[in-house]
Structure 1
Amino acid sequence: MRCTLGVDVGTSSTKGVLTASDGTILATATRAHDVSRPRTGWVEMDAAIWWDEFASIARELIAAHPDAEISAVGVSGMGPSILLADENDEPVRPAILYGVDTRATAQIERITADLGVDEITRVGGSVLTSQAGGPKIAWIAEEEPDAWARARRLFMPASWLARKLTGAYVLDHQSASQVSPLYDIENERWHAPFWGRYATAIVQPRLAWAGDIAGTVTAQASEITGIPAGTPVITGTIDAWTEAVSVGAHEVGDLMLMYGTTMFLVATGEETLRTPSMWTTAGAFPGTRNLAGGLSTSGALTAWLADLTDADYPQLLAEAEASGAGARGLLVLPYFAGERTPIQDPDARGVIAGLTLEHTRGDLYRAALEATALGVRHNVETMRAAGADIRRIVAVGGGTQGRLWLQVVSDVTGLVQEVPATTIGASYGAAFLAAVATADEPPLITEWNPVTDTITPNDDLRATYDTLFDRYVRLYSATADVVHELAADQRGATGSTTTASTPASEES
């Protein structure tokens, strides 16, 4: 039986799936893990976790179906995450994660001053924010010179797995386009002048597209993982884009909403749209461009409330549904880890407004769900103002298993959401890309994963949520000065902390 294996390294877990040639899921496996937060604004992970969990998952999936013939392997991972390794592929320090890590503020400001906003956006498409990889590389060079002196190669989770499996040193175009300002988005290549200025010691990874074959499994990797030597491995890409593939939301006019620990949005088009509020990137496939955005917290916020109130998710969801639209006069800003788009403010912080002694945990949970929905609306309206042609919206991720969250997002945004049969996410998309790369007759994602549910907004709530959205936008402006002062105080904290894992099925 011909099968493909897909593995995705996420923020709170690594997930794997074994799929038959028709897309049927034969087995799944998950390994929960933590990120490290050694200081306020720092979010890191030991890259050894990525490979160890991949190998463990691969062995488990193969053992579940010993008759499976692994025809190809798909890889995916969170990003843009910056992992620098030495000439022997030993990491010089833990990987610095994507936009939730906000340490490189000084580097963002200095590189922007050095190059100018116009030149940065002309070359890379986006202004520099906490999502950009280039300033994080510069931070290592300036703040950790011993690590920088040993650094020779640049990886992200997917490319690290491809390297460990095949020996190939390759990065996909989509991931590379988020190593701003080092990638030339119009010419789809590394930008030599900026690379020489900010990453001169690093050997440039070869560039490929997400579904291109990076190489084949080596004998050494086969011994560790159980995957037969010679099995093709695709290049892979960042998880949000692989998730979009997994639900067929990667065509021109599509918008993918990824419900997870964080919330991610990817709108696909053919034109390179530039706006300071969002991220302009290369697409997962040739000829496409993306306007992307992301909330720094979504499932992480609801998980925090569940832990804080010592309640299980079914209880909280039932109580939140009973609370009703508007959460009985509560309004939350979901910026508990700063915020990415569209406000691009690493010093934003969470705000709960309107609290009284009569409010319950159900009201709080409802307000948290509405906060993420308001954040989605803020992003969608910003995308459309920048020229994005959004014709179709598809939901994916662990949070889609909670119907209330989906309904709240549709009610707040006024958008219809399509939900496919399988929302397991990026690991499934990676398996699909692997199948396309190696099958005699490449499958279609509509055959693998058809739409089975549609969430339509409740028009009766439109006025309520229009008012709430206006207050949401005004609340940020009204509290920003005080919140920024508090964030400055918090930056003095040095205690090491971790973020607890949240299984995808509970991020709702």
Structure 2
Amino acid sequence: MQKKYLLGFDAGTSESKGTLTDLEGHVLATTSAKHGIISPYPGFAEHDPIADWLGDLKKIIRSLLDQVNGQAEEIAAIGISTIMAAVTFVDENCEPLRNAILYGIDTRCMEQAEEINQKIGPERMLQEFGTLCTVEHFGAKILWVKENEPEIFSRTKHITFASGFLTARLTGNYYVDKYSASSALPMLDIKTQQWNDEFCELICPKEMLPTIAESTYSIVGTVTAKAAEETGLAEGITVICGTTDAGAEAVSVGVVKPGDTMLMYGSTAFYIGVTSEKVNGTKMWSNPYTIDGKYCCTGGMATTGSLTRWIRDEMAKELVAGEELGGENAYTALFREAESVPAGSDGLIVLPYFQGERMPIQDPKAKGVFFGLNLQHTRGHIIHAAFEGIGYGISQNLQLFEDAGVPVGRVTAVGGGTKSLLWLQVVSDICGIIQQVPEVTVGASYGDALMAGLAIGTIESPEAIKNLIKIKYVIEPNMENNKEYKKYKELFAELYENNKNIMHQLW
């Protein structure tokens, strides 16, 4: 049967998305399936790999093929991404032994991160990796299971990361791409991009870890007969290595060459700046990119879209109820209340550290703060100040680029937050940056499909992806507001510094 389609699948923090394109990368169908974060204890963030990922994959395959009246045999290749880190412990049959442990929003392994830093030594950590081990890194999460769930660890045959669980279920082969492996500290040898024998001994046997693929879109196998029966795919479909969601999302909007920068407005914020070589001496993470031969600087905040969702769900319940009855979208109604609020929100400042914070302070014990509330403030002030608090954090992150000598040009904005022009305008005003929003912002699943096309040669080159991208609108900064925000950015930083000791005592 003639091959017609490329399939991309992404399992994100709160939902999975799928995209079906033609062989040249033009979008034919999209769909999504929601799931939640499992949080049995404070500081825990998990997914069920079978229910949340594999279950969503089955639903999405059926929905996409139904939309185009297609058949699974017509799919040429599939690319998969998931959230970082999604550390998953499986047995010899690739059956999960526990829920997957997510990225830095799961802070359970603070003690293990510090244990790793002390065993290796802070100076050597900085020398080897350019950073200390944090709750972001896979080694600390693996060590937590080893120390706290020894019976699980003893039964573990393979430890998979990011998309590697699903590609293993499809092909029987265990791989991780270099972009995702860059967070597998301290097991990874940064120079050779292979597992480090010495440091693996501190964490787990090297044999448990997946093979590091040459690139994100390396072909790692084909769909097996068993996987075809399980998922609804066809046996023999080409499967690429895959990656983590932010890298795939960046590719989906043409962020493929040095100087390109993506800012993702999702449940968390994440940014990627493409560079021609590895950048040393920066607080950002610098690692191989999803595009062969390129590097990137990356970083992220812990609570962005999830904060606006919390405000909607907890402070605007009547708007949510109205939407459920067929009324106006609750976000649209809520955000409209913020439109008349001036820059600075009449003295209200929000520290968006409601799940600790990643970059730039790397403080999992940080707390969310509403500071300066008075009786004249409205719900509109609260959501506007939340936009600003996120904007101040983004500004601090973009400053890291400047500190590292990496220029930030025009920024491509993606993610659910781009639906709010007010939020984008606030961020542009605070940061003094131009943001462009593509017409098609399907997300990481589209990037997965595009990289599948690169793997099998139906898409000629990464540069060819740029020809597929059309810009919907451009956000220019209001420089009068930019001047006003300078004092608030200073107060934002000072508010954290003056209160972090109290935050830590509340942990």
User: TM-score, length-normalised on structure 2?
Assistant: 0.93
Whether the aligned pair in 2 keeps the contact of 1:277 and 1:344 (CA below 8 Å) is no
Matched, 1:364 2:370: no
Between 386-395 and 300-309, report the one with greater CA deviation.
386-395
Structure 1 residue 290 displacement after superposition? 2.1
Q: Give the unaligned 5+ runs of structure 1.
A: 489-508
The residue aligned with 2:286 is: 280
TM-aligned CA deviation for residue 64 of structure 1: 1.9
Deviations 1:39-89 (A, max 9, x none): 111111111121111112112211222336211111011002211112221
Residues paired across the two proteins, number:
487
Counterpart for residue 398 of structure 1? 416
What is the DSSP-based 3-state SS (H/G/I as helix, E as strand, rest coil) of the residue aligned with 1:467?
helix
CA contact (8 A) 2:24 2:459 kept: no
Identity of aligned residues (%): 39
Q: 1:54 aligns with which of 53, 57, 65?
A: 57
Alignment pair present for 1:289 and 2:300: no
Alignment equivalent of 2:232, drawn from 223, 226, 229: 226
Asked if 1 retains the 8 angstrom alpha-carbon contact of 2:417 and 2:423, the reply is yes
1:246-395, aligned counterparts within 5 Å?
246-275=252-281, 277-309=283-315, 310=317, 311=319, 312-395=330-413
Q: 1:204 to 1:429 in 2, by over 3 A?
A: same
Structure 2 residue aligned with 1:438: 456
- Which runs of structure 2 are paired with 1:34-433 in the superposition (5 Å)? 34-48=36-50, 49-67=52-70, 69-200=74-205, 202-208=207-213, 209-275=215-281, 277-309=283-315, 310=317, 311=319, 312-433=330-451
385-394 or 425-434: bigger deviation: 385-394
Q: Aligned to 1:320, what secondary structure does the other structure show?
A: coil
How big is the alpha-carbon RMSD for the aligned residues of Structure 1 and Structure 2? Answer: 1.6
Q: Which residue of 2 aligns with 1:495?
A: none
Residue equivalent to 1:458: 478
Amino acid aligned to 2:468? W
Letter in 2 for 1:20: D
Q: Residue deviations 1:229-272, cap 9 Å, x none?
A: 11111111010111111111132122210110000011221333
Q: Is the 8 A contact 2:266 2:304 kept in 1?
A: yes
How far 1:201 sits from its partner (Å)?
Answer: 6.6
Counterpart code for 2:63: E
Residue identity matched to 1:42: F
Give deviations 1:338-371, integer Å, cap 9, x for gaps: 0000000000010111101111100000000111
Using the alignment, how far apart are the partners of 2:301 and 2:293 within structure 1? 27
2:298 & 2:467 partners in 1: Cα distance?
26
Whole-angstrom distance in 2 between the partners of 1:157 and 1:50 = 11
Moved more, 53-62 or 444-453: 444-453
Structure 2: how far apart are the matches of 1:103 and 1:22?
Answer: 43
Q: Is the 8 A contact 1:123 1:183 kept in 2?
A: no
CA distance in 1, matches of 2:248, 2:127: 26
| Superposed displacement of residue 122, structure 1 | 3.3
Distance in 1 (CA, whole Å) between partners of 2:296 and 2:373 is 39
Displacement of 1:273 in angstroms is: 2.5
Distance 2:47 2:310 in 1: 20
Deviates more, 1:60-69 or 1:372-381: 60-69
Change in CA separation of 1:75 and 1:104 when aligned onto 2, cut-off 3 Å: same
| C-alpha separation in 1, matches of 2:402 and 2:347 | 29
* Paired amino acid for 2:77: A
Taking the aligned partners of 2:128 and 2:54, their CA distance within structure 1 comes to 33
**Counterpart residue type for residue 23 of structure 1:** G
Provide the C-alpha distance between the structure 1 equivalents of 2:191 and 2:472, rounded to a whole number of angstroms: 37
Q: Summarize deviations over 1:481-502 as a string: whole Å, max 9, x none.
A: 111111x2xxxxxxxxxxxxxx
Aligned 8 A contact 2:7 2:79 in 1: yes
Structure 2 letter corresponding to 1:458: N
Residue number in structure 2 paired with 1:485: 505
Runs of 4+ with deviation above 6 angstroms: none
Tell me how far 1:440 sits from its aligned partner. 4.1
Gaps of 5+ in 2: 320-329
The separation in 2 between residues aligned to 1:363 and 1:441, in whole angstroms, is 47
Distance of aligned partners of 1:85 and 1:212 in 2 relative to their CA distance in 1, 3 Å threshold: same
State the 1:289 CA deviation. 2.3
